[in-house]
Amino acid sequence: MIQSVPEAPAPRPLPAARSSLAVTISGKCPPSTVARAKQAARGWRIPFIERKPKAPLTPLFEAFADALLVFGVDELVLWDRAGSLRFSPGMARLRIKRLDAGIEDDLLVRLARFESGASVLDCTLGLGADALVAARAVGPKGRVVGLEKSLALYALSSIGLEAHQVGSRSCRIEVLHRDAGDFLAEARPGTFDYILFDPMFERPRRSSPSFETMRRFADHAPLTATMLRDAARVAQRAVLVKGSRYSHTLRRLGLAAEPSSRSASVVWAKLVGQASSSVCPEPTCPARPPDATTRPAPPRPEE
Ligand SMILES: C[S@@+](CC[C@H](N)C(=O)[O-])C[C@H]1O[C@@H](n2cnc3c(N)ncnc32)[C@H](O)[C@@H]1O
């Protein structure tokens, strides 16, 4: 005889777990914005938090999340308790204006010598300023893919770049939430013409409050020799690495900064990609990128 098993009591709903990042809406939003915010939260696999009109954010930080992506009617703002960050093309606007005017003094563009129609992989997209300049340099027939490891910054730049008017002389930027190291390890040789790296500087320069917010959300892992070696395999033409004049990041990777104005605090180094000629003067442009067997330059006493 089969005895009936008493029904288990319905489980009590668990209190919502605290999350490092969540989505909500700005004070007053139409239903279409609420729907968009909910859909984005699902896509990013983070919670959506209901917010009453005009309710302050502080209780949401206390109860639910360390940081919030706040959807408004036509913008997305990243907030934590210390400040906020919006997508903005920033200096890219001015750099592109100068390119449009035929002024070719942009350090990255001068060094890379981007060809029209070429493909570019930006391994450290951030808010996309360098990627926007590259998109203008390769033009509407080119291709620019940007990788961003931080989910908060990926969210800001993917939504921001989608809404950004690039104009008829640029291509659009495809944004992926990926770790550049993993992406490069899996990529086929010669997939992109140019590869860019702009890792976070070890010693931050004085910066604006919004840049401070960006620093709190950015991934600070240093660029490694393995990533550089993979990038040289994946790049047909060149790998470009940004560094600070006042740090030893480039030298530690066996790279030397290309000559630039003495007043410039930012410098770039260039490696030739695999498909390029192997004849290239050392040390600024080694035919082989540094790898585990290449001894890095010895650190200076102050390091
Ligand atoms: C200095 S910012 C880049 C700024 C960008 N070049 C621009 O013009 O706006 C560096 C960015 O790279 C991201 N990042 C660092 N390591 C990464 C990795 N391994 N994969 C993808 N993104 C990474 C950081 O989260 C940060 O947003």
The one-letter code for the residue type at 196 is L
Q: Looking at domain 92-272, does it have CATH number 3.40.50.2300? A: no
Examine the pLDDT at 9 and tell me if it is beyond 60: no
The segment(s) of the chain belonging to CATH 3.40.50.150 are 92-272
Helix (H) or strand (E) holding 145: strand 143-147
CA distance linking residue 116 with residue 114, whole number of Å: 7
What mean pLDDT is reported for the chain? 86
Confidence label for 294 from pLDDT (cuts 50, 70 and 90):
very low
Residue owning the nearest CA to atom 12 of ligand 1: 124
So what's the pLDDT on residue 271? 93
- In the numeric block, which tokens belong to residue 41? 């939260």
pLDDT digits (tens, 9 = 90+) for 179-201: 999 999 999 999 999 999 999 98
So what's the pLDDT on residue 13? 44
124 CB near ligand 1 (under 6 Å): yes
So what's the pLDDT on residue 57? 95
CA distance linking residue 57 with residue 221, whole number of Å: 30
148 CB near ligand 1 (under 6 Å): yes
The residue whose two tokens read 């302050």 is: 56
pTM for the whole structure: 0.86
So what's the pLDDT on residue 300? 34
Residue owning the nearest CA to atom 2 of ligand 1: 126
pLDDT digits (tens, 9 = 90+) for 74-92: 899 999 999 999 999 999 9
Measured in angstroms, how far is the CA atom of residue 260 from the centroid of ligand 1?
23
Can you say whether residue 60 is alpha, beta or left, with left for phi > 0 and alpha for psi between -120 and 50 degrees? alpha
Confidence label for 229 from pLDDT (cuts 50, 70 and 90):
very high
CA distance linking residue 23 with residue 35, whole number of Å: 12
Examine the pLDDT at 202 and tell me if it is beyond 70: yes
Could you tell me the sign of the dihedral formed by the alpha carbons of 160, 162, 166, 172, in that order?
Answer: positive
180 CB near ligand 1 (under 6 Å): yes
Helix (H, G, I), strand (E, B) or coil at 66: strand
Strand pairing report for 65-71 and 76-80: antiparallel
